[in-house]
């Protein structure tokens, strides 16, 4: 006799052997019903897995579209201060003479920059005379005004821009605080 034959073999605890008395005490279950329940459980799991996969695919497509649509946001955002400075130079040239060649040349370049930004989906945020909106405007000051109602923008100190639906830069504005209060 070999050693493996004489020593007791470890039994798998998941494989229990029931005595005839124990099986008689268990309620009888319909094997077809239990198999049907098992099949329904696996079918439900398959449907849920398919739905999760479909949702993952849709989410991946949406994220890829957003990445493409807003990939240039940082570049466009870095162009905005350059455009601000260019417009200040244009105003200085306008103050000298609107008929000067420098002013006319700068005006053409400004139109090209504006056309480029528009082609990229950049839109200027309207501010002047609009109701202050915390999602689009940044209040830098308040001024009393007898003609402009409280909460309305009196003037913009810096233009704001959106790239499609996303904010690139809020418009810096001065907001009316309503009529001046007598002291």
For residues 102, 104, 105, 107, the Cα torsion angle rounded to the nearest 10 degrees is: 120
- Position 137 scores a pLDDT of 93
Residue ranges per structural domain of the chain: 31-69, 123-183
Which token pair is 132?
A: 């202050």
The values of phi and psi at residue 142, to 5°, are -125, 145
**Is residue 134 classed as helix, strand or coil in its secondary structure?**
coil
pLDDT of 143: 86
- pLDDT by residue for the chain (183 residues), tens only, comes to 455 455 455 555 555 555 555 555 555 678 888 999 999 999 999 999 999 999 999 999 998 888 877 788 888 999 999 999 999 999 988 888 888 888 899 999 999 999 999 998 999 999 898 889 889 999 998 988 888 888 899 989 999 999 988 899 999 999 998 777 666
**CATH 2.30.22.10 fits domain 123-183:** yes
């Amino acid at each position: 006799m070999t050693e493996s034959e004489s020593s007791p073999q470890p039994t798998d605890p998941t494989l229990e052997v029931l005595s005839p008395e124990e099986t008689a005490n268990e309620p009888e279950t319909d094997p077809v019903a239990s198999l049907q329940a098992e099949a329904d459980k696996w079918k439900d799991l398959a449907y849920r897995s398919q739905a999760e996969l479909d949702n993952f695919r849709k989410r991946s497509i949406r994220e890829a579209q957003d990445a493409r649509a807003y990939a240039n946001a940082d570049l466009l955002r870095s162009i905005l201060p350059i455009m601000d400075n260019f417009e200040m130079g244009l105003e200085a040239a306008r103050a000298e003479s609107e008929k000067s060649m420098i002013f006319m040349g700068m005006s053409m370049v400004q139109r090209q920059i504006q056309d480029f930004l528009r082609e990229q989906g950049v839109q200027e945020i309207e501010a002047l005379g609009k109701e202050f909106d915390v999602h689009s405007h940044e209040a830098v000051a308040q001024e009393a005004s007898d003609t402009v109602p409280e909460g309305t923008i009196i003037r913009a100190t810096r233009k704001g821009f959106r790239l499609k639906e996303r904010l690139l830069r809020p418009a810096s504005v001065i907001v009316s605080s309503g009529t001046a209060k007598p002291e």
